[in-house]
Amino acid sequence: MHNSGISIWFFIGVLLTIYGAMILGYGVFELVTGQTANVILANLHAPVWWGAILLALGLFYSVRFRPSRNG
Amino acid sequence: MLVPLAHSAIAPSQLAALLDAGAPSLAHLTLLDIAVIAIYFVMVIWIGFYLKSKANTSEEFFMAGREMTAWIAGLSFVSANLGSLELMGWAGSAYQYGILAAHWYWIGAIPAMLFLGIVMMPFYYVCKTHSVPGYLKLRYGQGASVVSAFSFAFMTVLMSGVNMFAMAEVMKVVLGWNLSFSIIVSSLAVAAYVALGGLRSAIFNEVLQFVLIWGGALLVPILGLIEAGGWNGLKARIAKNIATGIVAPGDYTHMWRSIGHFSDNPMGIHWTGIVFGLGFAISFGYWTTDFLVVQRVLAANNLRSARMAPVIGSFFKMAVPLIVILPGLLGLVVLQNANGSHMQLVGENVIKDCARNSADSGLADPSACSVALASTAVLPETQKAVLSGSGGVQLHSYNEVLPLMLVRYCSPGLLGLGITALIAGFMSGMAGNVSAFSAVWTYDIYKPLFNNKAKDEHYVAIGRWATILGVIISIGTAYMVMSAAGIMDYVQALFSFFISPLLGVVLMGMFWKRATRQGGFWGLLIGTLTSVGLYAWVKVDPSAVKYVAFSPLAKALAQDMYRALWSVSVAVLVTLVVSLCTPAHSLASLEGVVYGATKLPKEEPVPIYKNEYFWMVLAILCFLALNIYFW
């Protein structure tokens, strides 16, 4: 895929980075303000750790497959 | 072809009416959720436009330039089969039948995927065919190819319609949108991105969607298991619910123990049907001859990648029950009505009989609803609440279990991601159908029958128009599906009509040099007619099921399996007999398409971790371990 321009993994990295940042941001907001959503197991703060995982994966793929690196 | 709503002829008041399905939605999306969904659509359209410049020749538009790595081809291979239909339909089946539904992911997929990669792929790849009907043309001539192309095109648009319906269901259940509105708008979006970038666009989006599906749906089983107290806690709570009558009796957590007899399990199936019908006739037919999935592997950049792709895909396929089957099982114990009582899901037919004219009005036909509810395991007090419209009890169908679970656990942002995963699944399934339809229509129907001397650009243009045509026909079929009792029963019936006879003919052609052109044509035609005929026979005379499925107790899914087995057997037998009665082909004419007459390219030695046979053995071990653990 590299000889076809931007790698699909880069698109995936960008999307996961954006989603991770948004979800983690909301999770931190919940944590700080104490205003949790009306869902089951809200006390586990899933947006914080799930958002962080998505963000970490997204950043890895964005950097690893950035267009300049693949030519 | 994507018409912005602002430019459409729909007035704002009409639009509001269209969006209002007449039933309260499960969730109200926040701005964050809407942003997550919108960003996904922006990304999809960006990819479509970015790849438009890379889809100028027919090889690029229909075969993605044959540049895909093993990983991309493998993920796309699995993702094309991971649409909303898969996600919602099988989660619903798991709620209804228990872990038996996982057979469709394990014995119903893994052996066939490995067989495709290791044994069959060299023949598909070496002959450089553009499609499965194209392979039949090389092996059996134009007749068998045209029969196969027409049946495939027909099946593809029907499948696409099923996907559309599933998507519209998501929108109805979660967001309260009108079914028709969802079908029209979402299908236009898919038509746009596939018509722009062809197969490469479809594959890119499939890989993207694969990641999103895991990112959006994996949280549900994780949180569900925490709430249920782990796997053992889930099993204990299912047993308790069965004892109290909340869940219909049955073995929901074992795959093989309850299929010794048709009457021992809720699916009404016997192990011979699972092993020979599903494990061979249906799954080998689907995974090795359905062009929708084979097309992804044909786009691989070399033979080793083409062989590795299904092997890689098999590992991910084995893991899919985690995000599909497990949420269905968890739904049996954790879902609750608004009044705190246990939620019991029902079939689509009950939902239809208990429909209301609007959200706050009474039942349209209370007596029909009462009769329908009496045939279910719904508790008497819940039935009363539904009939009286009190207590905040609302009926939901089996197919809605996954969205219900999403709403239960996902807070803003995560809910948007989960909904995006379902939308992505729909995109993936439908794009797969439409891109395969476009290739078969152009290469195997239009080119040989209407115009075989045009320039390459002409065929690319035909492919783009075929994409749009496929979407339009799919919209029509989506409305057909709405009246079907269960989505999956309908799809299984389709498989046995067209796919299984094709398997018989392809296998005979690929591994028996004596098979002739006439043998292939008649084998395919009579195999398909056998399948349709058996289906019609049982429809007209339900007692015929004791002959077709060997037991009067066999239910719909079991009947499909045995019908598939009959049709593949008839196709093989007819091909065999007719071939022996007709002159044999010369060995030279079979080069590149038949085992024993084809010299396969020698593969360079690679380290063991890159060797397809090593990964195949590992996949077989995982497959065996899973079946033994859940025996």
Is the four-CA dihedral B541, B543, B544, B545 of positive or negative sign? Answer: positive
Strand partners, B270: none
Token pair 């914080």 is found at: A48
Q: In whole angstroms, how far apart are CA B273 and each of B253, B491, B556? A: 19, 17, 12
Yes or no, beta carbons of A8 and B72 under 8 Å apart = yes
Question: Predicted confidence band at A2 (pLDDT cuts at 50, 70, 90)?
Answer: very low
Burial class (CB in 10 A: 0-12, 13-18, 19+), B65: buried
pLDDT score for B512: 92
Closest CA to B560 of B284, B343, B281: B281
- Looking at residue B13, what is its pLDDT? 38
Nearest CA to B268 out of B630, B483, B560, B537 is that of: B560
Whether B489 is covered by a domain: the verdict is: yes
Residues of A in contact with B36 (CB under 8 A): 19, 22
Chain B window 386-405: which residues touch A at a Cβ cutoff of 8 Å?
A: none
Q: Which whole number is the average pLDDT over A15-39?
A: 93
**SS percent in chain A: helix, strand, coil, step 5:** 75, 0, 25
Cβ of B414 and A36 within 8 Å? no
Q: Distance between CA atoms of B595 and B612, rounded to whole angstroms?
A: 20
Note the pLDDT of residue B205.
83
Rounded mean pLDDT for each run of 10 residues along chain B, 631 residues in total: 29 39 65 91 85 79 80 88 76 90 93 92 82 87 86 82 75 76 77 82 86 91 95 93 86 87 79 88 86 84 90 94 94 87 84 73 80 83 81 80 90 91 79 86 89 87 89 82 58 69 90 92 91 88 85 79 90 95 87 81 82 94 95 89
Q: Judge: A1–B69 Cβ closer than 8 Å, yes or no.
A: yes
CA distance B53 to B198: 11
Domain coverage including residue B494? 67-345+396-629
Looking at residue B192, its amino acid is A
**Chain A nearest-CA residue for B214:** A54
Question: Is B613 domain-assigned?
Answer: yes
Tokens of B95: 């709620």
Q: Mind giving me the DSSP string for B234-258?
A: HHHHHHHHHHTTSS-SS--S-SSTT
* List of chain A residues whose C-beta atoms are within 8 Å of the C-beta of residue B68: 1
User: Is position B197 within any domain?
Assistant: yes
Contact between residue B316 and residue B206 where contact means Cβ atoms under 8 Å apart: no
B351 domain residue, yes or no: no
* ipTM tops the 0.90 cut: yes
Q: How far is CA A20 from the centre of its chain?
A: 2
Of B67, B226, B408, which is closest to A1 when you measure between CB atoms?
Answer: B67
Q: Which residues of B218-228 are buried (b: 16+ CB within 10 A; e: fewer)?
A: bbbbbbbbebb
Q: Which distant-in-sequence residues (6+ apart) come within 8 Å of B5 by Cβ?
A: B15, B185
C-alpha separations of B463 from B204, B228, B295, B491 in Å: 18, 50, 15, 26
Tell me the C-alpha distance between B124 and B121, whole Å: 5
pLDDT at B627: 95
List the CATH number of the domain containing B497: 1.20.1730.10
Closest CA to B620 of B123, B76, B79, B117: B117
For residue B37, is it within any domain? no
pLDDT of A69 higher than 60: no
pLDDT at B578: 96
Contacts of B427 in chain A (CB under 8 A): none
Domain boundaries, chain A: 2-70
Question: Residue B355: inside a domain, yes or no?
Answer: no
Q: What is the pTM of this model?
A: 0.85
**Average of per-residue pLDDT values in chain A:** 88
The DSSP H or E segment spanning B417 is helix B414-440
Q: Are the beta carbons of A46 and B68 separated by less than 8 Å?
A: no
3-state secondary structure (DSSP) of residue B394: coil
pLDDT at B557: 76
Examine residue B517 and state whether it is found in any structural domain, yes or no: yes
pLDDT, greater one: A71 or B114: B114
What are the b/e assignments for B426-451, b being 16+ CB within 10 Å?
A: bbbbbbbbbbbbbbbbbbbbbbbeee
Number of domains comprising chain B: 1
Return the pLDDT at B443.
Answer: 86
C-alpha–C-alpha distance, residues B535 and B532, integer Å: 5
Do the beta carbons of residue B163 and residue B81 sit within 8 Å?
no
Cβ of B36 and A54 within 8 Å? no
B414, part of any domain: yes
Residue B300 β-bridge partners: B68
